[in-house]
Amino acid sequence: MHVRLSNVSRVDPTDARLLLALAEDPRASVMALSQRLGLARNTVQARLTRLEGAGVLAPFDRRVRPEALGYPLEAYVTVQVVQRSLADVGDALAAIPEVLEVTGLSGVTDLLVQVAARDADDLWRLTEQVLAIPGVQRTDTALALRRFVEHRTEPLLQRTARASTTES
């Protein structure tokens, strides 16, 4: 499935409050969430079902860290592609298990590919594999040395949740 950056439904302030509560306690039951938020259990269940179905919630495997699976080296590979081959290159990248995410970009670089590798030799193998994909013209690889800010949405959820109190 090709994920577009804009195909996710909008979250309203109540959804944001629900998602914040879920972020704080991912194992919370629907009943616990309803009590915490002062919403009916059926309302919470319906909203969670809608949020899941609308693609608002990322897949659970996003929470698993590659280094825990033996892939401590993370890198970003920028890829220039023959334009007519963009979809085929995306499909070929999706077939490589070490490819964590592929994002289409504007500008000189067409794709930003996040990969996980076991070591430098494994990263070399991966970059060679990417270069061998028909339609790939050029790659550049940058090692991730340190993460200063983890992937997050909590500040945006807090802002969205506050929108209901400022609109009143």
Higher-pLDDT residue of 54, 119 = 119
Give residue 144's region: left, alpha or beta (phi > 0; psi -120 to 50): beta
One domain for residues 52 and 77: no
Residue 107 has pLDDT above 80, yes or no: yes
**Mean of per-residue pLDDT scores for the chain:** 91
For residue 115, what is the domain's CATH number? 3.30.70.920
One domain for residues 71 and 127: yes
Three-class secondary structure of residue 51 per DSSP: helix
In the prediction, which pLDDT does 8 show?
Answer: 72
For residue 36, what is the domain's CATH number? 1.10.10.10
Count of domains observed in the chain: 2
Residue 149 has pLDDT above 70, yes or no: yes
What single DSSP character describes residue 131? H
φ and ψ of 136, to 5 deg? -80, 125
Of the given ranges (81-85, 96-100, 110-114, 138-142), which has the lowest mean pLDDT?
A: 81-85
Paired tokens of 136: 């790939």
φ and ψ of 4, to 5 deg? -90, 155
Residue 63 has pLDDT above 90, yes or no: no
By residue range, what is the domain housing residue 16? 10-57
Q: Where residue 165 falls among pLDDT bands split at 50, 70, 90?
A: low
- Angle (nearest 5°) at CA 29 between 48 and 57: 30
Three-class secondary structure of residue 68 per DSSP: helix
In the prediction, which pLDDT does 72 show?
Answer: 97
In the prediction, which pLDDT does 166 show?
Answer: 58
Rounded to a whole number, what is the distance in angstroms from the first to the last CA of the chain? 40
One domain for residues 117 and 83: yes
**Among the listed residues 25, 21, 86, the one whose alpha carbon sits nearest the alpha carbon of residue 47:** 21
Domain annotation covers residue 109: yes
User: What is the average per-residue pLDDT within 30-42?
Assistant: 95
Distance (Å, whole) CA 78 – CA 51: 32
- Percent of the chain exceeding pLDDT 70 equals 93
